[in-house]
Amino acid sequence: MDFKKTHPRFKLNGNNFQTKHELLEYADQFSSSVKAFLEDWFNDDAFVIVQTSGSTGKPKPIKLQKDHMINSAKATGEFFSLKENTTALLCMSSEYIAGKMMLVRAMVLGWNIDVVEPVSNPLKGVDKNYDFSAMVPMQLQNSLKELHKVKSLIVGGGVVSETLKQQISDVQTKVYATYGMTETITHIAVKKLNHFNTVPAFYKILPNVDISVDSRGCLIINASKVAKDLVVTNDVVQLVSENEFEWLGRYDNVINSGGIKLHPEKIEHKLSKVIQNRFFVAGITDELLGEKLVLIIEDKKGEINVEKMLNVISKNKGLTKYEIPKEVFLVEKFIETETKKIQRSKTLDLIIK
């Protein structure tokens, strides 16, 4: 597909466009970030420059090939059977890859896409139903009462808590967690969060993706249609089959406490059943253990009693003795990236200093 052309069925906010100039003039009326991306998309370069989110390191600009972005859009359309005339809602910022790719999918596949502000409750006041949308966990949490307006929803940019999974277990909407990164042009795998055929559900790769693991047990992605080189991640996984995997956590987050390797994400999964606030676990330097496991909870209202919290956690039978935090810290507000992902290391610095 010529990236300077759009699918003849493509509509933006219900409007058809005969030329790219009409589209750019219209975008200029309601969103500077949408217009800026469309200008980049229609220029003569074979690539666009996008910023990584910065959740696992310093944000950096990277080049993404436009033909790779088109291939990614087609893979999503094939996986979810989203053909032309699909109705879609863009409620994420188009300054980042997730929002940009919603626009690319619409232009490539011929969707009718509406754009709303990337607020925490994007379905509030929306009087239409949609076939497809993408949200971050916070938006999903705040849209539960109106989630019926979306048939299929992908959720990225953070982990969906156990409490939220329970809340969506009986909703009509099909909800999927996504696995991917800017370098792979958003998701290369998705996992069902409800409407299960079997439990548990694992991440299933999209078309034209191959996976393997390195000596650390970290995922290697071979997806030549969306990334020129192999993508070696720091995500520890367990391969379930040639096209499915279970995500265990970040290799660079692993805590070595007294010779026992602890995966924070696995512990957080267990703790999410008893902690309602945002939280994470981490390792801090300890003379005896090398690193000790600590729990950091966001406590905006100052209502959490640390002693009671530790008591509740110690009674959680799902935790091994090594997975019980040695100490609990309360932070009024977590430090976040612009896309609302928790910056663990910077938040941890608030405690250690």
pLDDT band at 70 (very low <50, low <70, confident <90, very high): very high
pLDDT band at 341 (very low <50, low <70, confident <90, very high): confident
Cis peptide bond N-terminal to 200, omega within 30:
yes
Residue 53, pLDDT > 70, answer: no
- H or E, element range at 190: strand 186-192
Q: Alpha-carbon distance 255 to 144, whole Å?
A: 35
Is the sign of the CA dihedral 64, 69, 71, 76 positive or negative? positive
* 101-112 per-position pLDDT tens digit: 999 999 999 999
* Structure token digits, residue 133: 């949308």
Q: Alpha-carbon distance 99 to 151, whole Å?
A: 19
What's CA 131's distance to the chain center, in Å?
Answer: 19
Residue 1, pLDDT > 60, answer: no
- Taking a C-beta distance cutoff of 8 angstroms, is the pair 96, 62 a contact? no
* 185-201 per-position pLDDT tens digit: 989 999 999 988 766 78
* 303-318 per-position pLDDT tens digit: 899 999 999 999 888 8
- Taking a C-beta distance cutoff of 8 angstroms, is the pair 134, 156 a contact? yes
Angle formed at CA 340 by CA 187 and CA 133, multiple of 5 degrees: 45
Phi-psi region of 322 (alpha: psi -120 to 50; beta: other; left: phi over 0): alpha
Q: Alpha-carbon distance 133 to 156, whole Å?
A: 11
According to the model, what pLDDT value does residue 3 have?
Answer: 66
Return the amino acid letter for 351: I
Cα(first)–Cα(last) distance of the chain, in Å?
A: 53
10 Å CB burial of residue 287 (0-12, 13-18, 19+) is: exposed
According to the model, what pLDDT value does residue 57 have?
Answer: 60
pLDDT band at 178 (very low <50, low <70, confident <90, very high): very high
Average pLDDT score, the chain = 91
Residue 2, pLDDT > 70, answer: no
Average pLDDT over residues 209-233: 95
